[in-house]
Amino acid sequence: MGKPTGFIEFNRELPSDRPPLERLADWKEFHLHLPDDRLKRQGARCMDCGIPFCHSGSLISGMASGCPINNLIPEWNDLIFRGLWREALDRLHKTNNFPEFTGRVCPAPCEGSCVLGIHEPPVTIKNIEVSIIDKAWEEGWVQPNPPAQRTGKKIAVVGSGPAGLSAAAQLNQAGHLVTVFERADRPGGLLMYGIPNMKLDKNEVVMRRIRVLEAEGIVFRCGVNVGQDITVEQLRADFDAVILATGATLPRDLKLPGRELKGIHFAMEFLTANTKAVLENQDSPIHAKGKDVIIIGGGDTGTDCVGTSLRHGCNSVSQLEIMAKPPMTRAANNPWPEWPKTYKMDYGQEEAAAKFGDDPRVYLTTATHFEGDEHGQVKAVHVVNVEWKKDAQGNFGPQKIAGTERVLPAQLVLLAMGFLGPEQPLLDSLKVDRDARSNVKAEHGQYSTNLPGVFACGDCRRGQSLVVWAFNEGRGAARECDRFLMGSTNLP
């Protein structure tokens, strides 16, 4: 490393975000950048650690440890310290097609496994990554790079989310003719409609990259629902190979009394409607203005619902979490380099605390039923505290605590409890094999289904996961698809 003692000399530093109350007035991104000289010092904190776990990309205890796409993190940290930004970009693009996406929305398992993080705050890997690519866009270094030759092979990619985009980008670079089918009105999948604009700007970030992909030769056909607007038989007849990257978009429901009441929505319904409204400069049809909002689920999607509700002007917001509040530091059973399951305030909770005075999350709490008014509109959520212990049959789980029942006012309830797997109609019509969790059956590393020339990657294969795993799988499926078509492959 250019500064072997940097990790001793410099403290971890992140750029300030826009103030919470200020950013609640718009839908613009809220993260800012450090000046180059201060970012250089952050690059200097990267140790000459011998075995850099940050780019290991493994699963430990079911969670990502290190970067799943094996980003060459120590290399570009060193290049930033030395002021070699263009070279750092080249290193970044070797493993990552879209660092402007991961640098904004990836939870950074690389930082959770940073060797420096054993005893000190880890290197600011995610911030350095997004700073490299944002400077590259500003300097005009990111330009269309169409392949010099075409193979004549045609590939259909079904789904334009993270996995589909990375597969399409790789296959296009291999010289194949790639068409991406997207049932929504805009490309991007989860990147477009699953993540709010203030975390990932749609026009200035997502569509900017889509336009480059189009200039490189990829064709996007939006508003096309494969299986309905085009038959699977026609798709397989028209293309030499098909890659399924449809995501895992079947939401987990909460079948409680009163579920049929108006005003109870899946989180993704709420977030999708809002993003469309923002893009079209309209009011969302599902609006939180003046309402008491209850969000059931404590993950990233729940946080996005908090931030969106606050920007609508909600009267109050609470986020129910059935799990206990995480500890402030790693527990004994959560050692490095596992993903640290520690307490943190994400942007939505920070904004709620700034507006209403406290973290909106209510831990060890679950809903028991929904109460409506005379018009069939939800007006309250009945909840109860829980404790995690074994029941009479010896099964460990949440047990209700008698005497803790209470009623929370709510005119809007958002279910953000994750996803069960991919939607099945397309998979049924294709007759692809499924695994026990209803995902497309295809081995990791191979990605081939039971149908010759049909591959699957991303959440529709592995289940709901991180955006960076989707990039890993899209690149892997592209490699195996190229090998199927050409007999060998040079794709990484």
pLDDT in tens, 379-397: 999 999 999 999 888 899 9
Asked if domains 154-249+421-486 and 253-417 share a fold, the reply is yes
Across all residues in the chain, what is the average pLDDT?
A: 96
Distance CA 480, CA 445 (A): 8
Q: What is the DSSP letter of 448?
A: B
**Tens-place pLDDT, residues 279-314:** 999 999 999 999 999 999 989 999 999 999 999 999
Rounded distance, CA 321 to CA 140, Å?
44
CB atoms near residue 203 (< 10 Å): 10
Q: Please give the span between the terminal C-alpha atoms of the chain, in angstroms, as a whole number.
A: 26
Spatial distance between the Cα atoms of 155 and 482, rounded to a whole number of angstroms:
10
SS3 257: coil
Largest CA distance in the chain: 71
- 325 CB neighbour count, 10 Å cutoff: 13
In CATH, what number does 6-139 get?
1.10.1060.10
Q: Do the strands 406-409 and 378-390 form a parallel or antiparallel pair, or are they unpaired? A: antiparallel
What's the confidence (pLDDT) of residue 63? 86
Q: What is the pLDDT of residue 64?
A: 87
| CA-based nearest residue to 161, from 143, 145, 134, 184 | 184
- Predicted confidence at residue 391, as pLDDT, reads 87
Q: How far is Cα 37 from Cα 83, in angstroms, rounded to an integer? A: 9
Query: Which amino acid, residue 194?
Result: G
Q: How far apart are CA 199 and CA 181, in angstroms?
A: 25
CB 174 within 8 A of CB 147: yes
CA dihedral 448, 452, 455, 460 (to 10 degrees): -90
Q: Write down the residue that tokens 């929504």 correspond to.
A: 184
- In DSSP notation, 81-117 reads HTT-HHHHHHHHHHH-S-HHHHHHH---HHHHT-GGG
> Could you give the angle at which helices 267-279 and 300-312 cross, rounded to 10 degrees?
50
Helix (H) or strand (E) holding 182: strand 177-182
Per-residue confidence in pLDDT tens, the chain, 492 aa? 778 999 999 999 999 999 999 999 999 999 999 999 999 999 999 998 988 999 888 889 888 899 999 999 999 999 999 999 999 999 999 999 999 999 999 999 999 999 999 999 999 999 999 999 999 999 999 999 999 999 999 999 999 999 999 999 999 999 999 999 999 999 999 999 999 999 999 999 999 999 999 999 999 999 999 999 999 999 999 999 999 999 999 999 999 999 999 999 999 999 999 999 999 999 999 999 999 999 999 899 999 999 999 999 999 999 999 999 999 999 999 999 999 999 999 999 999 999 999 999 999 999 999 999 999 999 999 999 999 999 888 899 999 999 999 999 999 999 999 999 999 999 999 999 999 999 999 999 999 999 999 999 999 999 999 999 999 999 999 999 999 999 999 999
Q: What is the CATH topology of the domain spanning 253-417?
A: FAD/NAD(P)-binding domain (3.50.50)
Tokens of 244: 């399924």
Joined together, the tokens standing for residue 360 give 């909106």
User: What is the number of other CB atoms lying within 10 angstroms of the CB of residue 320?
Assistant: 24
Residue 43: name the closest of 69, 9, 93 by CA. Answer: 9
Q: Are 296 and 416 in contact (CB under 8 A)?
A: yes
Token pair for residue 235? 């798709």
39-94, pLDDT tens digit by residue?
999 999 999 898 899 988 888 988 889 999 999 999 999 999 999 999 999 999 99
Could you say which of 3.10.129.10, 3.40.1260.10, 1.10.10.10, 3.50.50.60 is the CATH number of the domain covering 154-249+421-486? 3.50.50.60
How many other CB atoms are there within 10 angstroms of residue 4's CB atom?
10
CA 449, CA 438: separation in Å to the nearest integer?
14
Nearest Cα to Cα of residue 292 among 271, 268, 318, 270: 318
Beta-carbon count within 10 A of 107 CB:
16
Q: Where are the domains of the chain?
A: 6-139, 154-249+421-486, 253-417
What's the pTM? 0.95
Q: Which residues lie closer than 8 Å to 101 by C-beta, 6 or more apart?
A: 162, 191, 200, 205, 206, 209, 467
State the residue for tokens 């209700």: 400
Sort 64 into a burial class: Cβ within 10 Å, 0-12 / 13-18 / 19+.
Answer: buried
What DSSP string runs through 119-153?
A: TSPPP-HHHHHHHHHHHHHHHT-------SS----
**Contact criterion met (CB below 8 Å) for 235 and 244:** no
Q: What is the pLDDT of residues 419-452, one digit of tens each?
A: 999 999 999 999 999 999 999 999 999 999 999 9
Instruction: Count the neighbouring beta carbons within 10 Å of the beta carbon of residue 273.
Output: 18
DSSP 325-371: PPPSS--TTS-TTS--------HHHHHHHHHHSS--EEESEEEEEEE
